Structure 1
Amino acid sequence: MTATLSWIDEITMTELERNPYPVYERLRAEAPLAYVPVLGSFVATTADLCRTIANSPDFEGIITKAGGRTFGHPAVIGVNGEIHRDLRSKVDPALQPSEVDRWVDGLVRPIARRYVEQFENDGKADLVSQYCEPVSVRALGDLLGLNDVSSDTLRDWFHRLSNSFTNAGVDADGEFTNPEGFVQGDEAKAEIRAVVDPLIDKWTVEPDDSAISHWLHDGMPEGQVRDREYIYPTLFVYLLGAMQEPGHGMASTLVGLFTRPEQLEAVIDEPALIPRAISEGMRWTSPIWSATARISTKDVTLGDVFLPEGSVVLLSYGSANHDTAVYDAPSDYDMTRPPLPHLAFGSGNHACAGIYFANHVCRIGLEELFEAIPNLERDSGADVEFWGWGFRGPTPLRATWEV
């Protein structure tokens, strides 16, 4: 373990959850690859380091300690080799662009219309809880085959799984400082199993076109299915990361556009600009802010930092997307900035499988919202607060409009 600067030893989980940007700005300037005691691992904070490590043959994917405690094994984000290839082979086909193009509009647009119709005549709404999150979870829930699970239940599941996954604080001995913080995740998983187990029983003998049914059957010998214990950790990954990412990406894009009224007006007038607005929103506040990790497969030296074999490095993509070596004034939302690549969806062979799907959920959601309420404004009487370090988004986002 390398020596740390004294201020790094004082970093707390509370300040990271409330606002990680000041800490990570200082890390980028003073120690872009540093061991952070409260996280019990090294942290990469610049775009160059995150991209280098994510694509290096000297590192493999690994799930964070708190993530492993939450999801179990083998979760797709924390395995390598043949298991990783098999898990990706069951989740990737339905998320390929050509496949998503075939059904995404028919899936997402009716969902978005249904939710916006519930409040469009009210003149006010919390866009996170009433629109962005429900559209996000309903779209993926229906894709997975969880059509009969309410959107409120899906939202509750991903919030509790998120709180568990990001309960990452450890003491000097590497023990969790708040072991009780995993209880809510355990309870959510028990509820998920109670709902999904009967569905797996059904899909085992009566497969259909739902994603989970395909996970069970695709690529398996005749008469065999994948074991549910093999599938569940990756399902938990989806019910957290994939459930929250489009909704929080959409919400962050709205917050960003509210800071630039002229850009909001331009997007409403010309919906073809929405994908560019979303890309900047994902960069500006990355929904998966610092939830992925790699482990060194041999001794590695990056810059002046020596990483012994087996060193875990958190890839802080939210920090990388604010790297001043890449972006001018990165803390500002500006959809007119040059369209440089960002790392909101990760990089390398563990990059997010749902990039194309998530972007289209966001696009369709904003299209329907702006079509129904073109005079949307942020409620100036309510502050916008963001929360989270592993996963980050606004909570809530109150808006008003003339009816």
Structure 2
Amino acid sequence: MTSTLSWIDEITMTELERNPYPVYERLRAEAPVAFVPVLGAFVASTAEACHAIATSDDFEAIITPAGGRTFGHPAIIGVNGDIHQDLRSMVEPALQPSEVDRWIEDLVRPIARRYLEGFENDGRADLVARYCEPVSVRALGDLLGLKDVDSDTLREWFHKLSDSFTNAEVDDNGEFTNQERFAAGDAAKAEIRSIVDPLIDHWIEHPDDSAMSHWLHDGMPEGQTRDREYIYPTLYVFLLGAMQEPGHAMSSTLAGLLSRPEQFEAVVDEPGLIPRAIAEGMRWTSPIWSATARIARRDTTVSGVDIAAGTVVILSYGSANHDTGKYDAPTEYDMTRPPLPHLAFGAGNHACAGIYFANHVCRIGLEELLDTIPNLERDTNADVEFWGWGFRGPTALHVTWEV
């Protein structure tokens, strides 16, 4: 299948991963819902189209082929009906605001302070590698019950799973062009199972307050637990999406603030502005950029485009959050812009379950960082490079400060 606009047929995976914004700016203007051959799927690129599809009864969730190859079935992001309701009921109790408020400070602040102690006197650091990603993975890892898995291993897992999940390029026959990235994801999953299987064996007999222990037991008849094969696909979703999202949101927010020194200083002077800075960071560079999809349940029309039943549409929320029909100068980071809703966490009944948790991990992480090192400056000897089409964030953020 080819698109109706010849330039769309020339889109490459390399340009989507390095810098998808020019391609999606043109898609929003010329083809808000269009078939993109390199992805083997339709793409929704405007805020209107993404929101309409995500909230419409004419569509239901489906996982992308690369995502299905990576996570397996039933992953929470690609199921519907009773299975989706059960998986949401499994993961949501630990992520409810009232529950998160109970333990988030005691969980995240000590983690953030511990990592800061490791480099606060160095005068320079890559904040992605030394702080943002480690705080993110450690917070979720401890919540899940993976306290004995070191943070470097958790980071390696989510990077390999991300490479596999976003391995979306297909040839003219719809076959994946790169199997090596799937192999890396398979290796990560094998290591995950070798570590988590014994933990599951323990939790079955000795339940505790870890999230995964609750996944096994909550809502089940007396003496029964959920099958581990049923749980693993959703665990992989968490070890990728929920591991990377707070860290990349934190690093993108910092990159944005450092591009606007007056706004950085305002946040340092008034930490109460941090949630607003994070909201803009997530809009500016959405961590989950283009990683969810829907399938049409019946023939329908979206943004003037006829969609046949059975058509898979990828929702590019990162593009929607740069829609000039909704945001002025969307390519600029500007936390002073009017606080309009964004789609960084999706919409509809498959919106991210971890919105509250992720925002508070980011908030606490930035509060601790800016209180400890308020005189951060970007290291102008190193560029800030962003990468990713499915999941997106800075690959590094080099900063300096006077000690």
* TM-score normalised by length of structure 2: 0.99
Report the counterpart of residue 39 of structure 1 in structure 2.
39
State the alpha-carbon separation in 2 of the partners of residues 13 and 234 from structure 1. 26
1:260 is aligned to 2:260: yes
Q: Shift of the alpha carbon at 1:303?
A: 3.4
Aligned residue runs from structure 1 range 340-379, under 5 A: 340-379=340-379
1:89 is aligned to 2:86: no
1:208 is aligned to 2:213: no
- SS of the equivalent of 2:169 reads coil
State the alpha-carbon separation in 2 of the partners of residues 299 and 83 from structure 1. 25
- Percent identity, aligned pairs only? 79
Report the counterpart of residue 72 of structure 1 in structure 2.
72
Report the counterpart of residue 319 of structure 2 in structure 1.
319
Where in structure 2 are there 5+ consecutive unaligned residues? none
User: Where do 4+ consecutive residues of structure 1 move more than 6 Å?
Assistant: none
Q: Shift of the alpha carbon at 1:196?
A: 0.0
The answer to whether the Cα contact below 8 Å between 1:50 and 1:317 also exists between their aligned partners in 2 is yes
Report the counterpart of residue 339 of structure 2 in structure 1.
339
The answer to whether the Cα contact below 8 Å between 2:252 and 2:282 also exists between their aligned partners in 1 is yes
- SS of the equivalent of 1:161 reads helix
- SS of the equivalent of 1:35 reads strand
Where in structure 1 are there 5+ consecutive unaligned residues? none
Q: Shift of the alpha carbon at 1:308?
A: 1.2
Instruction: Give 2:349's aligned amino acid.
Output: N
1:401 is aligned to 2:398: no
State the alpha-carbon separation in 1 of the partners of residues 180 and 277 from structure 2. 39
Moved more, 173-182 or 137-146: 173-182
Aligned residue runs from structure 1 range 116-155, under 5 A: 116-155=116-155
Report the counterpart of residue 53 of structure 2 in structure 1.
53
Instruction: Give 2:70's aligned amino acid.
Output: T
- SS of the equivalent of 1:154 reads helix
| Deviation per residue, 1:52-74 (Å, 9 max, x gap) | 00000000011110000000000
Q: Shift of the alpha carbon at 1:304?
A: 3.3
Report the counterpart of residue 234 of structure 1 in structure 2.
234
Instruction: Give 2:30's aligned amino acid.
Output: E
Q: Shift of the alpha carbon at 1:179?
A: 2.1
Aligned residue runs from structure 1 range 142-291, under 5 A: 142-291=142-291
Aligned residues: 403
Report the counterpart of residue 114 of structure 1 in structure 2.
114
The answer to whether the Cα contact below 8 Å between 1:2 and 1:306 also exists between their aligned partners in 2 is no
State the alpha-carbon separation in 2 of the partners of residues 2 and 175 from structure 1. 15
The answer to whether the Cα contact below 8 Å between 1:42 and 1:314 also exists between their aligned partners in 2 is yes
The answer to whether the Cα contact below 8 Å between 2:200 and 2:213 also exists between their aligned partners in 1 is yes
Q: Shift of the alpha carbon at 1:2?
A: 7.2
Q: Shift of the alpha carbon at 1:311?
A: 0.4
Instruction: Give 2:140's aligned amino acid.
Output: L
Could you say what the CA RMSD is over the residues aligned between the two structures, in angstroms? 0.7
* TM-score normalised by length of structure 1: 0.99
State the alpha-carbon separation in 2 of the partners of residues 281 and 112 from structure 1. 20
Instruction: Give 1:382's aligned amino acid.
Output: A
State the alpha-carbon separation in 1 of the partners of residues 25 and 342 from structure 2. 17
- SS of the equivalent of 1:298 reads coil
| Deviation per residue, 1:111-170 (Å, 9 max, x gap) | 000001100000000000000000000000000000000000000000000000000011
Q: Shift of the alpha carbon at 1:3?
A: 4.0
State the alpha-carbon separation in 1 of the partners of residues 136 and 214 from structure 2. 21
CA spacing shift, 1:303–1:343, aligned 2, 3 Å: closer
- SS of the equivalent of 1:266 reads helix
State the alpha-carbon separation in 2 of the partners of residues 115 and 365 from structure 1. 10
